[in-house]
């Protein structure tokens, strides 16, 4: 035999493993089952059940809700894409600067920042951030929300990006240096195109996070017509706080779909490569 067979032998243990895998798959699927059926059922209740007849009326009603649609089609994209563009650009510049300028202790600094960003996060830092944004007059603006989210995600984004920047062979940039290119030119012509996969990975990672973010926009935005979908989600509760199940189901699908599609794209094109870089 000259080639090694990649196919494992079908043994009892292998079958058992497969069975276990399917059990796990079902456990992961069960809570989501509801979203597969309820949106298309105009009499949906909290329990997942196959609808008697497929109906799109839930979607019709959701489309009629101005604030919710505004959140989904305008505000969430503005916040998501804005955060993505700024974070990715700033992280790429920083990763390049860190990697190529031999600043002392650069490894340590990224680690400290990662730590810092894990420590100064969530509700703990929201008090001063709320005050800061309030005082500089960016409360109730998209730009305020975007800037806060960029700050929170930047350390991790730099960390992920650095893996890609360090992966560019040094001779590529050295060759350009010898040919007479300036640092900015090298970044633009050589490094930037070569770390495109990294830009995609970081960009989509940021976009998924910003798209789902609830707390920051919830705290910093007041006007209903500025709220992103994560907050307008709660529009579909009646005055007593009970959910309008049918509408929530339909809205949840519309809200989730872009993220899932993005995940499929990134997984198909790049894989979740960035986890290779995380090790102590």
Partner 1 sequence: MQRGMLSRPVGLLFLAPAIVFIAVFLVYPFFSIFQMSFTNTTLVGVNAVNPQFVGFDNYVALFNADQWMRRGEMGFSLLLTAQFVIGSGLIGQAVLGLFIAVLLHNRRGFTRELVFTLAIAAWIIPDVVVAFAWFAYLAPDGTLNNLLNTLGIAGPDWLFKHPMISIIFFNTWRGAAFSMLLFSSALSSIPPSQLETADVLGASGWQKFRDILLPQLTPYILTDLLLITLWTFNTFTPFLLTGGGPSYQTDVISIFTYRIGLRFFEFGKGSAAAMVVMIINLAIASIYLLVSRSRKVRA
Partner 2 sequence: MASIKIQKLVKTFGTVQAVAGIDLDMPDGEFVALLGPSGCGKTTTLRMIAGLEVPDSGVISIGDQDITMSQPRDRDVAMVFQDYALYPHMTIGENIGYPLKVRGVNKAEIIRRVTDVANQLQIGHLLERRPAQLSGGQQQRTALARAVVHRARVFLFDEPLSNLDAKLRLEARAFLKYLQREVGVTGVYVTHDQSEAMALADRIVVMSAGKIMQVGTPLEIYRQPANQFVAAFIGSPPMNLLAAVSDEAARTLSIAGHTFPMRENFAQASKASVIGVRPEHLTIHTQPVENGLVGKVYVTQPLGGETLILVHVGENLISVRVFGDDPPELPEQVWLVPELSRMHYFGEDGERIS
Rounded to the nearest whole angstrom, what is the least distance from the CB of residue 175 to partner 2 in the complex?
A: 4
- DSSP string over 27-66: HHHHHHHHHHHGGG-TT--SS----SS---HHHHHHHH-H
Toward partner 1, which CB reaches closer, 223 or 242?
242
Which among partner 2, partner 1, none contacts residue 151 (Cβ within 5 to 8 A by kind)?
partner 1
Question: To the nearest whole angstrom, how small is the minimum distance from the Cβ of residue 174 to partner 2?
Answer: 5
- Binding residues for partner 2 restricted to 174-233, rule: CB under 8 A: 174-182, 185, 189-190, 193-194, 196
Q: Which of 51, 97, 197, 224 binds partner 1 (CB under 8 A)?
A: 97
Q: How far is CA 197 from the centre of its chain?
A: 16
From residue 163 to residue 182, what is the string marking binding to partner 2 with x (rule CB under 8 A)?
A: ------x-xx-xxxxxxxxx
For partner 2, give the closer residue by CB, 11 or 171. Answer: 171
User: Which lies closer to partner 2 via its Cβ, residue 126 or residue 190?
Assistant: 190
Q: What residues between 126 and 155 interact with partner 1 by CB under 8 A?
A: 126-132, 147-148, 150-152, 154-155
Q: How far is the CB of 60 from partner 1 (least distance, A)?
A: 20
Q: Which is nearer to partner 1, 29 or 56 (CB)?
A: 29
Give the one entry of partner 2, partner 1, none that residue 36 binds, where binding means its C-beta sits below a cut-off of 5 to 8 angstroms depending on kind.
Answer: none
Query: Which of residues 3, 6, 179, 268 is near partner 1 by CB under 8 A?
Result: 6
Which residues would be at the binding site for partner 2 (CB under 8 A)?
169, 171-172, 174-182, 185, 189-190, 193-194, 196
């Amino acid at each position: 035999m000259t080639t090694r067979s990649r196919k494992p032998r079908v043994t009892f243990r292998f079958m058992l493993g497969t069975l276990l895998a399917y059990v796990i798959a079902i456990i992961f699927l069960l809570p989501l089952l509801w979203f597969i059926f309820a949106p298309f059922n105009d009499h949906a209740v909290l329990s997942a059940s196959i609808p008697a007849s497929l109906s799109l009326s839930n979607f019709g009603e959701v489309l009629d809700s101005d604030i919710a649609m505004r959140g989904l089609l305008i505000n969430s994209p503005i916040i998501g894409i804005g955060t993505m563009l700024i974070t990715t650009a700033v992280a790429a510049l920083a990763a390049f600067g860190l990697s190529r300028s031999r600043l002392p202790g650069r490894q340590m600094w990224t680690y400290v920042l990662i730590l810092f960003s894990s420590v100064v996060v969530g509700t703990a830092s929201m008090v001063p951030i709320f005050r800061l944004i309030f005082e500089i007059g960016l409360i109730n603006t998209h730009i305020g929300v975007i800037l806060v989210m960029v700050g929170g995600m930047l350390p991790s984004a730099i960390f992920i990006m650095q893996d890609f920047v360090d992966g560019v062979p040094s001779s590529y940039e050295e060759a350009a240096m010898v040919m007479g290119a300036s640092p900015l030119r090298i970044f633009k012509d050589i490094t930037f195109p070569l770390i495109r996969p990294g830009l995609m990975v970081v960009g989509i990672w940021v976009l998924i996070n910003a798209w789902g973010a609830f707390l920051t926009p919830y705290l910093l935005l007041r006007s209903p017509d500025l709220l992103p979908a994560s907050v307008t989600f709660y529009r579909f509760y009646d005055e007593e706080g009970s959910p309008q199940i049918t509408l929530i189901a339909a809205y949840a699908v519309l809200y989730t779909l872009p993220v899932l599609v993005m995940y499929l794209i990134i997984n198909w094109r790049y894989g979740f490569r960035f986890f290779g870089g995380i090790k102590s």
